[in-house]
Amino acid sequence: MRIPYDVPKIHMYTRIRKSPYFYASQRHGVQSYTVCNRMYHPRHYDDMIAEYWRLVRDVTLWDVGVERQVEIAGPDALTLANLLTPRDLTKCQVNQNKFLLNTDVDGGVINNPVLLRIAEDCFWFSVADGDVLLWAKGIAAQSGLDVRVSEPDVAPVQIQGPKSQALMRDLVGEGVLDLKYYWSGEFEIDGMSVVVGRTGYTGEIGYEIYLRNASRDASKLWDAILEAGEPHDVAVIGPCQIRRVEAGILSYGSDIALDNNQYSDYAFLNPYEIGLGWTVDLDKESDFIGKQALARIAEEGVSRKVVGVEIGGDPLIGYLDDYLPVTDGDDLIGQVSSAFWSPRLEKNVGFALVPVERSENGTKLSVHTAARGEVDAVVVPRPFIDPKKETPKSNTLGATG
């Protein structure tokens, strides 16, 4: 079944990069692409509900080469990396991963990458859609630090779903079962050097495989994963947006962004507005970009927040082609940035940016949809499923593997 709306053609040409996995992933019948980090990103191979069930019941393989790596290396790598985020990276051990934010001088969020500490003097920022490479190069150029900022020949894929541990054990050996949530390790697959992290974009058990020499070995790795995954019914899908919303994961460019619509003051959202204030370590000894602004915002509070919402009306299948207005009578007071029908909850769930006085759980909202006009909505806690993240931390193979 195809996505139930018309998808305009996207041109393939040299201005937009192709992932190292582009041709391998194309073999599986890509139905639609988007562009992320100036790179084609396969979104769907099958109906999105069918892909959802493959993810939550079995195991799936994703081309996420668009998660381009920004490598910060050299004697002063920790100093520069620490400058680029409100999280205190002196507490980040080698092989530990951290979800973090990059902020500007006003405290606005300009990216929400996952950081991997590869070595004492080497960090990878696995970035969402945004020019973190140029940002980091610009900061480094003015810092006087002994550091190198580059994009290495590294590209990740994601292995997500309850059978992912069994697949990964068959692919790289029993040692992968020792990885704790948000930790990574060095492995080898058929002579290929990889870093495997226990992370993902789903709220399910999952891993990301970061392939070195990706421009050379991407297709070889892809085929090795398919072979190891065959006994486990592995399916190639795109990033499951339904599951990431259920898990409360915000998408940079839609849920976290410089507003690009009618409900807009053209200011970046800050960590406290998006519910990620826990990533801001104002007490860390070293300075970071945006520290003064975020200290002021933490003291003064915010005027708007991103909240979880349940939305009435017919099931919302497919992507929103625009923000949905949140209204109070004739007044526009907010916007829904992501919303999908959850097959397990049997509800429409999503994220809305609303005034802080309308952000308390249980608050009734009115959302305008193209199909049904005004529908009722209510503010609810996020994540919508598994708020303590017990699922991605679990071990499906038992304590002994």
Q: What is the CATH number of domain 69-150?
A: 3.30.70.1400
Widest distance between CA atoms in the chain: 63
The pLDDT tens digits of the residues spanning 52-77 come to 999 999 999 999 999 999 999 999 99
CATH 3.40.50.880 fits 246-269+303-380, yes or no: no
Asked if residue 383 has a cis previous peptide bond (ω within 30° of 0), the answer is yes
Residue 21's pLDDT is what?
98
Q: Assess whether pLDDT exceeds 70 at residue 398.
A: no
Cα dihedral 254, 256, 260, 261 in deg (nearest 10):
70
The pLDDT tens digits of the residues spanning 280-334 come to 999 999 999 999 999 999 999 999 999 999 999 999 988 898 999 999 988 999 9
Residue 260's pLDDT is what?
66
pTM value is: 0.95
Give residue 103's Cα distance to chain centre.
17
Joined together, the tokens standing for residue 2 give 């195809």
User: Which DSSP string corresponds to 315-378?
Assistant: ---S--SSPEEEEETTEEEEEEEEEEEETTTTEEEEEEEEEGGG-STT-EEEEEETTTEEEEEE
pLDDT band of residue 2 (cuts 50, 70, 90) is: very low
Residue 155's pLDDT is what?
98
Give the residue with greater pLDDT, 81 vs 9: 81
Q: What is the CATH number of domain 22-67+153-238?
A: 3.30.1360.120
pLDDT band of residue 6 (cuts 50, 70, 90) is: low
Q: Assess whether pLDDT exceeds 60 at residue 401.
A: no
Euclidean distance between CA atoms 118 and 124, whole angstroms: 7
The pLDDT tens digits of the residues spanning 347-371 come to 999 999 999 999 999 999 999 988 7
Give every CB contact of residue 133 below 8 A, 6+ residues apart in sequence.
68, 70, 127, 149, 151
The pLDDT > 90 percentage for the chain reads: 89
The pLDDT tens digits of the residues spanning 187-234 come to 999 999 999 999 999 999 999 999 999 999 999 999 999 999 999 999
The phi, psi pair for 343, rounded to 5°, reads -65, -30
Q: Assess whether pLDDT exceeds 60 at residue 43.
A: yes
Break the chain into its structural domains and give their ranges.
22-67+153-238, 69-150, 246-269+303-380
The pLDDT tens digits of the residues spanning 225-244 come to 999 999 999 999 999 999 99
Q: What is the mean pLDDT of the chain?
A: 94
Residue 160's pLDDT is what?
98
